[in-house]
Structure 1
């Protein structure tokens, strides 16, 4: 590696020195980890805490604030004395040594720890730096592609992938001066804080929507919902879904006739009912020589087959549907939205009632016979508008979250070597 190659593509102003490179073993010493499964842990009390590999893979980010992360307690109080020399400190790093994919080797840097002694758990490799690193640097660097790609050829296993201490010892650790480390750690940690903020907002909105879907539609056997908009007092009427909307399904043109595909008509399949583009498209000949049917933007699309059974969306495009989709149109956007949100609310009930073990297909005949409680059109409009606005807000936070995640990914690619 040349001196010029030892610097990243993006650096903070004022830093010009080449980065240092050392063997992992020169930078870290390994600590002991226990073999406690989830059965040996609890969320209520104990004299010591535990860091489990599953939480590193799924729950924790690059840096762990143990004061806020609800680390589980170790149920057996006799375990801790066996690890007296491996009680974790701030600045230690822990690798998950096992995963079902190349996430093996994911790492977390410990920043704040709870008041109880904390030790590293099942399928983890805890390591302690031999010298000081800037806060947040190791957590972000050891999870970056710049470091993690060194582990890929060293991973072992097929169904379960693992990384060993020996594999870590074979890697190289690269780092700049302490001030630059601190600047990198602070910048990426700030992005992490923003990601966490939007993730929490998104999660709260999703939970709020689920709650309102339960409360703004009547429970089984009741004629009014728990929550209503002001001015509406009349009981809801029970109607069959097929009486409220025009319903039809489509079909698939012969796959062996290339003249039927590659045209300008989007061909919507089950997994694409909520998309604004499709993988396949039909020609006019493909539409006219099959049972495929056109749907307009704003119609309700209901997936009836396989893994997507019970999924529902308002069509974002005009296109053709296949036999796995039931289209519904109440000739009013508000009524269509009302039907769609009611079907989303009822998804679990419908699939559990009509599908064996969640497997199999639904049918248009079944869906059209479903009894749906119906308020006045004005109340439908308010309910549909409420949930539509809520969906827009959820989408907004989801997009902000994805943007921040993409920004972080780009910085991780450019701020490390």
Structure 2
């Protein structure tokens, strides 16, 4: 499409039919760079009693582009060396989180890692959303393997299709409400994760203790120390293998041999690219090794310590660097084991056993040295396991809801912007 041709978004609010016009960002605002006092480490530039905040690169990701508070404040001497904004402005990060737009809602001095859109001829919220949708495209200004280098001239010359001010405002209001809904659901998810973290700390004994701070009614006996292998099967199956490593040449036709499971951030992530191959080879490999529903999975490295359970009996195998534990039913339930491996004391002990910390991982040999403290009463294990399983299910549902909202916004941006 020619740059001068009329452009229309796929989806519009009722009453708007005019074409969007092509403009350069530099025609729509005076784009200037922030400024930083030097040397930036000198304490004379900062003053906690100042009402003028200091906007740093680190504040961008922490507040997702909407700056409502700043921890650091700039002194009068520092203010003379920077650009001070006392009203909301649109900014664009050109360092570290390159291409991230943000709006300041507090008085602030602006670091030289930002561009400021002064005297704008656009609706601020509309342009915030457009820049957010355009963020990944700034990468074309970077060399392969190097950091993107944005400057004011590149941004000024960037072309954009833009509607009337009334339509801009409608779009801005719509996406701001959607952002607020996404933020509310993110806070709810964060709160659920914090609650789980608190329960893990209180419902498992601390180091050297035998009784947790918080228990279900009816249980009072002290927990007992055991070796980890006393409560699970005497062997651990390191199943993280690929057909290629086993010398198996899987074809792309015929039998659906298997699908793999990744354990990411504590949740199962079924891989989309299931392997296809010869049925006899598959049966020979998997005989007696099929993962069972509820079985506990544990990542041994990259990162060490993610835990999940097999969702069903559909013939899964594991991705590399993951192990599957088999519990002794009369000594430990799978649901309890899944929680136990996430508890602070056990995770810290695993980290101590790992070679080089959690970044390196834990070996089968080092796992044999793991000691645990568990309730003798299997009923208490079942209650604890069931409680955390329900909490994990709630967290997973909230995570899926948040992801759907984020995908919904992505779809709207694609359809409602040219």
- C-alpha deviations, 1:89-138, integer Å up to 9, x for none? 54521111123xxx62221234x32xxx422113111121343x335111
Q: For the structure 1 residues 134 and 12, does the alpha-carbon distance in structure 2 shift closer, same or farther, using more than 3 Å as the test?
A: same
Q: For the structure 1 residues 205 and 39, does the alpha-carbon distance in structure 2 shift closer, same or farther, using more than 3 Å as the test?
A: farther
User: How far did 1:393 drift?
Assistant: 1.0
2:336 counterpart residue number: 338
Q: For the structure 1 residues 324 and 12, does the alpha-carbon distance in structure 2 shift closer, same or farther, using more than 3 Å as the test?
A: closer
1:293 counterpart residue number: 289
In 2, are the aligned partners of 1:223 and 1:236 still within 8 Å (CA)?
yes
Name the SS of the counterpart of 2:305 in structure 1: coil
Distance 1:148 1:308 in 2: 27
Q: Does 1:169 align with 2:162?
A: no
In 2, are the aligned partners of 1:98 and 1:123 still within 8 Å (CA)?
yes
1:79 counterpart residue number: 78
Between 156-165 and 205-214, the greater mean CA deviation after superposition: 156-165
Task: Report how many aligned residue pairs link the two structures.
Answer: 399
- C-alpha deviations, 1:389-413, integer Å up to 9, x for none? 1111111111111111111111111
CA RMSD of aligned residues (A): 3.2
Between 364-373 and 174-183, the greater mean CA deviation after superposition: 364-373
1:134 counterpart residue number: 123
In 2, are the aligned partners of 1:269 and 1:325 still within 8 Å (CA)?
no
1:183 counterpart residue number: 170
User: How far did 1:353 drift?
Assistant: 2.9
User: How far did 1:32 drift?
Assistant: 4.6
1:226 counterpart residue number: 213
Name the SS of the counterpart of 1:160 in structure 2: coil
Name the SS of the counterpart of 1:210 in structure 2: helix
- C-alpha deviations, 1:273-329, integer Å up to 9, x for none? 94363445474434535898222111112233x323333221124434578524222
User: How far did 1:34 drift?
Assistant: 1.9
User: How far did 1:201 drift?
Assistant: 0.7
2:303 counterpart residue number: 308
Q: For the structure 1 residues 44 and 395, does the alpha-carbon distance in structure 2 shift closer, same or farther, using more than 3 Å as the test?
A: farther
Mark the runs of 5 or more structure 2 residues left unpaired by the alignment: none
1:371 counterpart residue number: 371
User: How far did 1:165 drift?
Assistant: 0.6
In 1, are the aligned partners of 2:93 and 2:113 still within 8 Å (CA)?
yes
TM, length-normalised to structure 2? 0.84
Of 63, 88, 93 in structure 1, the residue corresponding to residue 90 of structure 2 is 93
Q: Does 1:123 align with 2:113?
A: yes
Q: For the structure 1 residues 406 and 60, does the alpha-carbon distance in structure 2 shift closer, same or farther, using more than 3 Å as the test?
A: same
User: How far did 1:369 drift?
Assistant: 4.4
